[in-house]
Amino acid sequence: MRNHQLGSAPITALVLAAACWGGATVITKHVLTDVPPLTLLVLQLTVSVVFLWAIVLMQRMRLPQRRDIVRLGGIGILNPGLAYTFGLLGLTYTTASMSTLLWAAEPILILGLAWLILCERLTRTLLVFSLLAITGVVLVAGIDVGVEQTSLLLGNGLILSGVACCALYTVLTRRMVTNLDPLLIVTLQQSLALAWALAIWPLEWAREGAVSLTTISPASWGWAALSGVLYYALAFWCYIIGLKQMPASMVGLFLNLIPIFGVGAAYLFLGERLTLVQSIGGVLILVAVVMVLRWQRGDATTASAAAPTGL
């Protein structure tokens, strides 16, 4: 078991992952007005998998043992397979702000699962600043009640199912990531996730009034491809790089940065304005993340001792 001082590389990787997810979320919400959810999932994952395999082949990387491929594939079906199937479907029934609030529960779920499955130590400091960050997320997202109640409950239930899948994904991947290259992990996981998406895609075709691929505009195809690279390939790759070097319970805290980047992208590209309350929420999130990083640097030996060495 290795003890090491927390460096800047995993922090940078996790911030980049949050930036990719936040920015690509804005693109995804825009594309969903023209492309059905499961079709968009297939398009995004196809582009991501082609992009990732191209890099793997260029680097001539060796595949892991079949046992590890099967395990990674199963986790890939969990996330992004099931998680984003639930998430995209849920987004069509609930508001964007409510979706953001529900996803704010993911870091807390990761904390609990990391303690339960990985035996990571949960300190009062980490819990306090995690709650502070979630408070910031609530302020950044705001509340929008302009949605019919039945649809809202269905959408919220779907999104919460996706949140649970993502939290479990982080903890299970943390158990394997120490012995495998992050690029290979993401590539294999998303290859199986694409197989899952292709398997359930016909369910969307069977719906009355299903959108034909020929009616999707060229612009939407382009935005879907871009969001696939950002949302899946780059974001997950950076996330696994950070997860390889930091405890899962701490990695989850960086997910609270996603709404900041999402709101920032909406401001830059959609002309949406940030309210005073949202600004305060953003500051709370940043303070929480920075303070935990300062605490982690001062207690690196204890934190690294909680990290597993693999299966």
Q: What is the pLDDT of residues 71-129, one digit of tens each?
A: 888 899 999 999 988 988 887 787 666 676 677 778 888 888 888 888 888 778 778 87
Contact 244, 58 (CB under 8 A): no
Is the bond leading into 80 cis (omega within 30 degrees of zero)?
A: yes
Q: For the CA atoms of the chain, what is the radius of gyration?
A: 19
Residue 310 has pLDDT above 50, yes or no: no
Q: What is the pLDDT of residue 250?
A: 86
The Cα–Cα gap between 203 and 184 comes to 30
Q: Determine what percent of the chain is predicted with pLDDT higher than 70.
A: 85
In the chain, what percentage of residues exceed pLDDT 90? 36
Domain boundaries, the chain: 8-305
Please state which of the ranges 136-145, 169-178, 242-251 shows the lowest mean pLDDT.
Answer: 136-145
* Separation between Cα atoms, residue 158 and residue 90, nearest integer Å: 5
- pLDDT value of position 97: 64
What average pLDDT score do residues 138-161 get? Answer: 71
Going from the C-alpha of 302 to that of each of 114, 121, 274, the distances in angstroms are 15, 9, 39
Top pLDDT among 198 and 28 is at 198
Distance CA 5, CA 166 (A): 27
* 230-274 pLDDT tens trace: 999 999 999 999 999 988 888 988 998 888 888 788 778 767 676
Angle of CA points 18, 33, 158, to nearest 5° = 60
Question: Which tokens go with 178?
Answer: 């120490």
Mean pLDDT score of the chain: 83
